[in-house]
Chains A and B, each alone.
Chain A
Amino acid sequence: MSATIRPYKIIIFSAVRPAARSSKDGPPRQRRRPLTSSAAVTIEEGGVSAIECWRAWELIKLTLPVMFGYLPIGMAFGFLMVHNGGAWWMAPFASVVLYAGAAQFASIALLAAGQSPIAVMLAITLINLRHVFYGFSVIDRMPTALAAKLYLIFSLTDETYSLITSIDKDTAQRDGWRLALLNQLYWIFGSFVGAMLGVGITFEAKGLEFTLTAMFCVLALSQYRAIGSVIPAVIGFLSLMLALVFVPNGALFTAIGMSAACLVSYCFYRLKSSPASARTLNPAGKDQS
């Protein structure tokens, strides 16, 4: 299905033309007016800005579930960044340029453990490896404008990906990048508020550093729920134990690398031993032969 050409395509928060609007003026004059930009329409007709607001609200409503997740978790991120020695602006900055939930929390822990930028980057690559597959299922939902497309690709987090794939294709093509932008704004705002809270709490509260442990615990549980297997958890735990014994100074990065190597062997073995069960993991249902 190709994108339907609509006259209001370039209007910011483009609204469906409501029937009520044409009743005000004569319909022929209304039809001939070129709908080229939201600014022009807003100046000519007072009623349109209200319609744009309604359209914006429709989009915000779609992102509300993400907002309820992103605001508190973003706050936790901002707070932890400050609590682990970061300046107030660091959390919002990370949310602008990195914008990947679990990876951002991991980067705090890795930076606080004194890992080098390259080591952190490699660890983040492994954590975000799953993003390599998100693009395939949204290729036909991408906007045509290059800037909008690039932004939507940049901001394709787990939650935005779920949102884009759950709405109809036309809305995704037209408003997908706006939904993505709203989501990132919630995240940045949450990080900022959390960082401010972190700066505000100046007293030495023992036990507060546990929020990072709790965050990783919650993230691990949600990952477990998504894949339904404890094997990666066991591999991770054993890797860390070995790494702490043999490479105490670079334990964190060594453990992540060891886990990756073990999981590669595990997945490879599983694929070889029973290709049929591996095929069911593919949601597209394509024959792997």
Chain B
Amino acid sequence: MTTETFLITMLLCGAVTFFLRLLPFVVSGIMRDNVLLRDIGRLLPLSVMVILMCYTFKETGREPLTLTVARLAAVVTTALLQLAFRNVLLSILGGTLLMMAEQVALG
């Protein structure tokens, strides 16, 4: 990414996020009781996180199958660590270290 792209993107994203946070103070009442908008706002982040996670598997098919399996094993490990200990750092470190070890083992 170029510096200009980065700066423009961040300023746009920052502005839109501030606008979203400011909105209830400007138009209280119109959206306050909008159940539809509330539900979508609650559910959508999960969809996006799943999409972003799966998108990191985009090399599947173009890379050796063993690598894809290794990545899957690391994701499952990360998820199990997170479910067991609920420690973000531990889960990420555990999954990543396993992935790195698998890369070394696969050569």
Chain A residues packing against B (C-beta within 8 Å): 69, 72-73, 76, 85-87, 90, 93-94, 97-100, 102-103, 105-107, 109, 111-114, 117-118, 120-121, 123-136, 139, 142, 153-154, 156, 205-221, 223-224, 226-227, 229, 231-233, 235-237, 239-240, 244, 251-252, 255-256, 259-260, 263-264, 266-268, 270-271, 278-279, 281-282, 286, 288
Contact = CB atoms under 8 A, between A and B. Distances in A.
A256 B40 CA distance: 13
Nearest to B77: A214
Contacts of B3: 87
Q: Please report whether the interface of chain B is mostly helix, strand, loop or mixed according to DSSP.
A: helix
Nearest to A220: B49
B36 A85 contact: no
Interface in B37-77: 37-58, 71, 74-75
Given A129-B41, A136-B28, A211-B96, A255 B51 contact: yes
Contact of B51 (A121, A229, A259, A279): A259
Nearest to A268: B36
Contacts, number: 270
B12 A121 contact: yes
Nearest first, the 8 A-B pairs at minimum CB distance are: A135-B24, A236-B47, A207-B100, A216-B53, A130-B41, A236-B50, A97-B14, A220-B49
Contacts of A109: 52, 55-56
A210 B96 contact: yes
Q: How large is the interface on B (under 10, 10 to 19, 20 to 34, 35 or more residues)?
A: 35 or more
A271 B36 contact: yes
A94 B83 CA distance: 29
A76 B64 CA distance: 28
Contacts of A90: 6
Contacts of B88: 69, 72-73, 76, 218
Contacts of A72: 88-89
Interface string B1-40: 1010111111111101110111111001001110111111
